[in-house]
Amino acid sequence: MNVLFALNLWSPHHGLSIGIAILTAFALGLVHGVTPDEHTWPITFSYAMGSFSARRGMRSAMAFSLSFTVQRALLSELAYLGMLAITANPTWNAVVYVVVGAVMMLAAFYVLRLRCALHLHLWPPSIGRCHRQIDTAGWAARTPTPAMAAVHGFIAGWGLGAFALIMATVLAPAMPDAALGWVPGAAFGLGTTAVLVLAGAVIGSLIRHQRLPEQLAQKVAQEGAGWTLLVGGVLFTTAGSAGLVVPSIMTAGITTGIHVHNLDQINVGTLLVGLVVVVAVVTITRTVHRLRHLPPEVPAGAAGAGDGASNAPGGPRDAPDVDGRPDGPHRDAGRRRRRCQHDGDRVTHDSRPPKLADAERDDHGHRDPP
């Protein structure tokens, strides 16, 4: 226990023993998972929301985190071998932002069943157009998959910040040979995994326990995850593009005085995390409110319950048609009433019995004059 408190997680020095270096890497991974990091929080929250259960939320977070762990182990080994010079490069991080944002938008198109056509309008100015696919059957099949989360985790791991610098310049060189160069990166990733898996379970459980039927819970998960991924992807791509044009944006920030990485400064990464969390909360709240106020659906078996049930007022045959008017006997009765009124105005409708009307006709079929 005294060793844990003696760890220097802010600025560890060179010459650490193997055990202390690995333990420091794991503790830094825990801090990395707990603190608001733009490379983990927005993506993990989006995929966990789309899971709509604690178990699936843990599975998505596990896929993301383990892929992230593999990437950090590879990064640590490359740093030990001197094959990758890891420095605080704002342009590199801006490129990672753009790639991460693009992958988030692609995942959103899949989840929301969006189809986009690329074209240009001069006025009002717009590029491209997206619309929802009409067929919305199979909501559960359109939730984010663990494979998508794994791809995202490997890409996001290439974002280089204070944690990556410490791991590459202090912890990886503390290993005795190249066979163990990957261990600090793996320990760091496992520390992050422990936090994110728990967070994914909590988020998935919160979505599932909205007191909604399972089908509606799946819709909430799909809408929440899809729109969070879409808006988050736009934000990441915009921030990365701005960073490529003006690299100082990536390093600008307000110092907080807190000696904990990711909390020591309010910068563009902190703003991205905050905005994505706000989008997620608003989307979930509005979707739950909208679905709770939907009219109850007619059971699928009601249509085959018999002619008496289907012809009864309010039954399936009286359901609104595509034009919004009731179908079935009620609609037919309304048509007859309108036809009678129209014929009466033209004085062509004869409500007398057919026999009396025929008696007044001559041999040529003409009516006798009154």
Q: What does the pLDDT look like over 281-310, one tens digit per residue? A: 888 888 877 777 666 554 444 444 444 444
Phi-psi region of 262 (alpha: psi -120 to 50; beta: other; left: phi over 0): left
| Token pair for 174 | 């503390």
What Rg do the C-alpha atoms of the chain give, in angstroms? 32
d(CA 293, CA 9): 50
Location of structure tokens 């896929």 = 63
Say yes or no: 56 and 152 in one domain.
yes
Burial 214-243 (b: 16+ CB within 10 A, else e): eebbbbbbbbbbbbbbbbbbebbbebbeeb
* Orientation angle between helical segments 183-208 and 41-49, nearest 10 degrees: 40
Model's pTM, two decimal places?
Answer: 0.70
Query: What confidence tens digit (pLDDT) does each residue in 236-287 have?
Result: 999 999 999 999 999 899 999 898 998 999 999 999 999 998 988 888 888 8
In this structure, is residue 122 part of a structural domain?
no
How many domains is the chain partitioned into structurally? 2
Same-domain status, 263 and 164: yes
The answer to whether residues 187 and 336 belong to one domain is no
**279 and 324 fall within a common domain:** no
Q: Are residues 334 and 201 in the same domain?
A: no
Statement to judge: residues 240 and 342 lie in one domain = no
Range of the domain at 185: 2-115+139-292
Residues 30, 64 within the same domain: yes
Same domain, 323 and 244: no
* Strands, E assignment, the chain: 114-121, 126-132, 253-255, 265-267
In a domain, 11, yes or no: yes
Choose among 237, 159, 201: nearest CA to 45.
Answer: 201
CA–CA separation, 11 vs 329, rounded Å?
Answer: 80
Residue 300 within any structural domain of the chain: no
Distances (CA, A) of 160 to 25, 39, 118, 168, 280: 15, 10, 33, 10, 25
Q: Are residues 324 and 216 part of one domain?
A: no
Q: Per the domain annotation, does 132 fall within a domain?
A: no
Give Cβ neighbours of residue 55 (< 8 Å, ≥ 6 apart).
Answer: 201, 204
pLDDT in tens, the chain (370 residues): 555 556 888 888 888 899 999 999 999 999 999 998 888 888 888 888 777 677 888 888 899 999 999 999 999 999 898 877 666 678 889 999 999 999 999 988 888 875 444 444 444 444 444 444 444 444 444 677 888 889 999 998 888 888 988 998 899 999 999 999 999 999 999 999 999 999 888 887 776 666 667 777 777 778 888 889 999 999 999 999 999 999 999 989 999 989 899 899 999 999 999 999 898 888 888 887 777 766 655 444 444 444 444 444 444 444 444 444 444 444 555 555 555 555 544 444 444 555 544 555 555 555 555 5
Torsion sign over Cα 66, 67, 68, 73? positive
The two three-digit tokens of residue 173, written as one number: 């060189």
Residues 19, 146 within the same domain: yes
Indicate if 144 and 237 belong to the same structural domain: yes
Cβ-proximal residues to 164 (8 Å cutoff; 6+ apart), any chain: 72, 75, 86
**229 and 328 fall within a common domain:** no
User: Is 241 among the domain residues?
Assistant: yes
